[in-house]
Amino acid sequence: MSAQLSFVAVDLGASSGRVMDCGWDGSRFHLHELHRFPNAGVRVGQSLYWDVLRIWSEIQLGLQKFRAAHTDAPAGIGIDAWGVDYALLDERDRLLGNPYCYRDARTKGMPERLSAAIGAHALFQATGVQTMEINTAFQLASMAAAQDCQLADAHALLMIPDLFQFFLCGEKRVEYTEASTTQLYNLRARRWSRETMSALGLPSHIFPEVVMPGSILGDIRTNVRPDLGFTSGFPCIAVASHDTASAVAAIPDLNDSSAFLSSGTWSLMGLVVDEPNLSDAAFEGGFTNEGAADGRVLLMKNMTGLWILQECMRAWEAAGQRYEWKDLVQASETATPFRSFIDVAAPEFQSPADMCALIAQMCGRTGQPFPSTPGEVARCVFESLSFAYREVADELERITGRTIETIRVVGGGCLNRALCQMTADACRRMVIAGPVEAAALGNAMVQAVATGHLSGMDEGRAAMAEFIEGRIYTPEKSRGWQNEFDRYKLMIGMERAARKLAMKAVS
């Protein structure tokens, strides 16, 4: 590498983690993967946890690999990860058990049970975040309802990336973009929503100070350095700690006519706006507002993404049939188009389950043929995701008044050529895919701004534009996609209406 200095970007996903060496030579970043490791929830009995001590050991191993490759310490380290999950610390800063995984079943039905205390619309007005069972607010509320002793003994709550920063430098802070995922942070007032905490019966004293992206937390602790091979310190920097915010920060040329799409286990699609959109249209459309790396707001919709197919792959492998992603993408391209659709936003697709069976059940309810081969399953998932993206793009135009001409795709989904082309065809908009490692790049860019090596985010994005060459997908001109989108809306609309009736009957 010809870089003059390096930043370490730790990028933690729900299915894998990476420790990246992000070199900066004054004009562009150079990425080198130091260490990659698998990540997943660990089930014990009926509960699903994160093994944060193993993740910590993997981060240390990545830093040891950095030390082996360099004579100097890095210019900084930043950590980004998924949102909503947290760890609790006691009065001596010890972990109070393993943090729960957001897919744990303890939050089932919590929003409905707490609706008398604070309804979904009131929560949206207070925080800008759409109600989902997985949100931090309902995870904590489930602990309060169960009179969990860990919550009673807690002295501090740290979100997952903030926990590892604490391990590194000893500072207990929560970063802005992560705080915004909790449904306990008032985005408009830029402070914790004590009113929401009170309504949900949560202890407000456990929530630390919120810091903005680019805040230098302090040097790596002296008692940590020997284990990593460092003799001197280097700064721990609060980047845009929510991985989506880091990924969006790295997208070049993201203007008012461009929507972002972070494509991976989850699909997150939206626009960068100046202030949270708390309109009834945004609430009814299922949109959420979360923090952006530059202090602005991401108006977006969270959708289950490639997790559906990942779970199918896990089931096939358990049955003795192992498929690589490239095999499924290729098989999807030769499968019969427009055969079956599913509603990827349906609650049943958000938790670990037999996804192939759930797909078959939804197809049966809507009178569609079952996808019977891996290629047909993949095609069903890809086309359904593409139509879901079309719905979101159209809704974003309606509630913001903007015209969306381009969709910028980042994350692992960039590599899925079939899904990218289907997205362009279904949305009738140009799709530009890349960069794949957007979260790590955005992470490093915020570090470079914090340390003065970049003058600001605008200079960082300009640098990204100089060397990132996105792959362009243009929509085909056939009316077939529009006709099938109309059929999808009718079919899925009936499924959603039936689900709403069922929910009313239960309540």
Q: How far is it, in rounded angstroms, from Cα 219 to Cα 237?
A: 9
Q: Does residue 403 fall inside a structural domain? A: no
8 A C-beta contact, residue 301 and residue 392:
yes
Both 217 and 323 in a single domain? no
- Tell me what the mean pLDDT of segment 427-453 comes to: 96
Instruction: Give the largest Cα separation in the chain, rounded.
Output: 66
Q: Strands of 56-135 (E only): list them.
A: 76-80, 86-89
**307-346 per-position pLDDT tens digit:** 999 999 999 999 999 999 999 999 999 999 999 999 998 9
Which of 194, 216, 241 lies at the terminal end of a domain, its last residue?
241
pLDDT at 2 over 70: no
Pairing label, strands 174-175, 210-211: parallel
Both 14 and 120 in a single domain? yes
Cα torsion for 160, 187, 267, 15, to the nearest 10°?
Answer: 0
Q: Does residue 262 fall inside a structural domain? A: no
**72-98 per-position pLDDT tens digit:** 999 999 999 999 999 999 999 999 999
| Residue 507: per-residue pLDDT | 55
User: What's the number of domains the chain is made of?
Assistant: 2
Both 56 and 174 in a single domain? yes
| Per-residue 3-state assignment (H helix, E strand, C coil) for 309-373 | HHHHHHHHHHCCCCCCHHHHHHHHHHCCCCCCCCCCCCHHHHCCCCHHHHHHHHHHHCCCCCCCC
8 A C-beta contact, residue 433 and residue 4:
no
Q: Does residue 401 fall inside a structural domain? A: no
Q: Does residue 162 fall inside a structural domain? A: yes
Q: Give the domain range for residue 160.
A: 5-241
| Residue 498: per-residue pLDDT | 85
Both 195 and 319 in a single domain? no
Both 38 and 134 in a single domain? yes
**473-497 per-position pLDDT tens digit:** 999 877 789 999 999 999 988 888 8
Q: Strands of 351-450 (E only): list them.
A: 406-410, 430-433
Residues with a known catalytic role: 243
Q: What angle do CA 389, 436, 467 make, to 5 degrees?
A: 115
Both 228 and 315 in a single domain? no
Q: How far is it, in rounded angstroms, from Cα 313 to Cα 324?
A: 8
Which of 225, 241, 257 lies at the terminal end of a domain, its last residue?
241
Q: What angle do CA 142, 146, 152 make, to 5 degrees?
A: 95
Which of 185, 209, 241 lies at the terminal end of a domain, its last residue?
241
Question: Given phi > 0 = left and psi -120 to 50 = alpha, else beta, which region is 394?
Answer: alpha
| Residue 505: per-residue pLDDT | 66
For the domain that residue 19 is a member of, what is the CATH number? 3.30.420.40
